[in-house]
Chains A and B, each alone.
Chain A
Amino acid sequence: MRVFSPDPSIIVLGQHATTEKINAWRTAMGLDKPIITQYIDYMTAVLHGDFGLSYFTNTPVTAELLARLPATIELAVLAIIIAATVGIFFGVLSAVKKNSWIDGLTMTTALIGVSMPVFWLGMILIIIFSGYFHLVPSGGRIDTLMRPMGGTGFYLWDTLSIGDFEAFFNALQHAALPAITLAGYSMAIITRMTRSSMLDVLHQDYIRTARAKGLSPVQVIGRHAFRNALLPIVTVVGLQFGSLLSGAVLTETVFAWPGIGAYSVECILRSDFPVIQAVVLIVATVFVLMNLIVDLLYAALDPRVKYATGEA
């Protein structure tokens, strides 16, 4: 990044800045030191909870990101809910109705979903639903006048908790398209994973046992098959959620969604190193954390997996 990005000093100070001013700024920001020293200084600060100041706003990076984090999380949570619900439903359906037209349609749609560029899907949705039908707004999180004061920054939660349903629905309308767009890819992945996992389970002997007990198809599929198929599904959902939290860059940009993704794009364009570094670090941490959570969920879902406790 340091190699490829344009020198931030010129972007910050303007192209008419004098050499003295530029050098003074670089010294102040520590950019004149060797890259190794910079790295050690940075990591030391990070370990103390200090991500530094943005080159542009001179505000702490932590504050900048915290202000945008709720928007990103809100979008990612909405998207994963949509992706998991729709994906699992159609995955199970197409596994149960294997080789039927439903299966064919679902799998084709899923294939398209996996291959479609996110920004393109976003734009098409904007054209159809806000450009043509005028059903939903094309960008932003909420109408300015309805923006909730204070609160957690999660608008859906904030509006709902004070009982302002009009604002809640307004926020929901704003979130609908970006959430669906963001969900698209994960939905397709989850559908495919659910289908193959279910197909695998449906051929197991214990499914035959369950049928031999005289259970109805709903009980056999819903209880006996699904519980077993859930393990790989949880893995995919967890990993997808991790990547949704970090990978909303394109969607947020297309929908002018004021989250971390769109912000990091802004910052990359103007070489705001402290911000970009912080974003990368957070994204990586979130991803690792999601993996950990998924691993812990295994133990809850599968009795065969037990993690050693205490001195064991």
Chain B
Amino acid sequence: MLLEVEHLTTEFTTRRGKVQAIRDVSFSIDKGEILALVGESGSGKSVTSLSIMGLLSSNGKVVNGHINFNGQDLTAMSEKQLRHIRGNRISMIFQEPMTSLNPVFTVGDQIMESILHHTKLSKKEAYEKMIALLETVGIPNPTKRVKDYPHQLSGGMRQRIMIAIAMSCEPELLIADEPTTALDVTIQAQILDLIYRMREQFNISVLLITHDLGVVAEAADRVAVMYCGRIVEEGTTKEILTDPRHPYTLGLLKSIPRLDDISERLYMIPGMVPPPEEVPPYCAFADRCDRCTDECRRDLPPLITTESRKVRCIHANMGK
């Protein structure tokens, strides 16, 4: 296993007291595997990724659990040790390519910075590496483009630049936090394809964070579904998409518009996601669930595990 997250709990100190953004999150990623982390906004996907990177804002803190990366516990590392891993062995791309690049430096500067920071290459070698990298990520005319500033490039180009920065030190793990959300549909497909190709070419593992099940179907090997800071279901992409066990996953799938569906209105999961400080001590989905019984409101449902799947629901019919 390249990355093993065990019982990770991250807490934020707010004016209204302490709030747990993610609770007891466990998952693992194998070498060369793409794991998709799926959930609505506020379900804790981004907090999970920032916890792994050690980039939580100053009021956030990992209070429990371990993050084992190649056998080393990231939660036990000093900031200095983490800086050596960030951008080097684990790198990250973000949702907004428009704002993720620094507007006052050329894209060349920003890619070179990362290479020079983590390797001992000379400027000339780093430059050559950068040009090769830009060709790999599909930037036409790279020797010209490196002199451009971010505002001179399109959204898709900027995301390619971000991927080039992320890939510049040949990381083992790439965390992609909603990498396609801000892009046009056609560009989305290109970027996903690029991430896929990077995986093939460099044998990296990818933690793909998204709320878009279409993206999941296209790119991921395995899927973990998050709800209210907890993982509620995990399995291979095929299993999750064709045979969802948790009512929340089912609801998510049902709310995707389908061409062969003739009903007038789209399915909607009733109710709302509770705010993080009001998450109940029992199943967080109980109040919105049509399978809900009294038992659901008694205790937190355990994570039922079979071969490749995990489900956090007592009505999951695992035997079916």
Contacts and interface: CB of A to CB of B under 8 A. Distances in A.
A304 B149 contact: yes
B53 interface: yes
A210 interface: yes
Nearest to B83: A214
Given A214-B82, A303-B106, 4 more contacts: A206-B100, A206-B102, A213-B117, A303-B149
A205 B100 contact: yes
A212 interface: yes
B94 A209 contact: yes
Contact of A206 (B88, B99, B149, B151): B99
Contacts of B117: 213-215
B14 to A, nearest CB: 14
Contacts of B99: 204-206
Given A208-B55, A209-B94, A214 B87 contact: yes
Contact of B105 (A204, A208, A213, A227): A227
B86 A208 contact: no
B162 interface: yes
A147 interface: no
A28 to B, nearest CB: 60
A224 interface: yes
A304 B148 CA distance: 11
Majority DSSP secondary structure for residues of A touching B:
helix
Nearest to A213: B87
A255 to B, nearest CB: 40
B88 to A, nearest CB: 6
**From A206, A216, A228, residue with most partner B Cβ within 10 Å:** A206
**From B100, B102, B105, B114, residue with most partner A Cβ within 10 Å:** B102
Contact of A213 (B96, B151, B165): B165
A224 B99 CA distance: 13
19 contacts: A204-B99, A205-B96, A208-B94, A209-B100, A212-B53, A212-B55, A212-B91, A213-B86, A213-B113, A213-B114, A214-B85, A214-B88, A214-B118, A215-B117, A216-B83, A224-B102, A228-B103, A228-B104, A303-B149
Interface of A: 204-206, 208-216, 224, 227-228, 301-304
Contacts of B92: 212
A303 B86 contact: no
Contacts of A204: 99
B100 A208 contact: yes
Contact-residue bracket for chain B: 20 to 34
A213 B102 CA distance: 13
Contacts of B94: 205, 208-209, 212
A216 B81 CA distance: 11
A209 B83 CA distance: 13
B102 A228 contact: yes
Contacts of A303: 103-104, 106, 149, 151
Interface in B95-135: 96, 99-106, 113-114, 117-118
A209 B149 contact: no
Contacts of A227: 102, 104-105
Contacts of A205: 94, 96, 99-100
Contacts of A304: 103, 149, 151
Contact of B102 (A210, A212, A216, A301): A210
Nearest to A231: B104
B291 interface: no
Nearest to A217: B79
Contacts of A208: 55, 94, 100
Contacts of B86: 211-214
Nearest to A302: B104
**From A204, A214, A228, A303, residue with most partner B Cβ within 10 Å:** A214
Interface string B51-65: 001010000000000
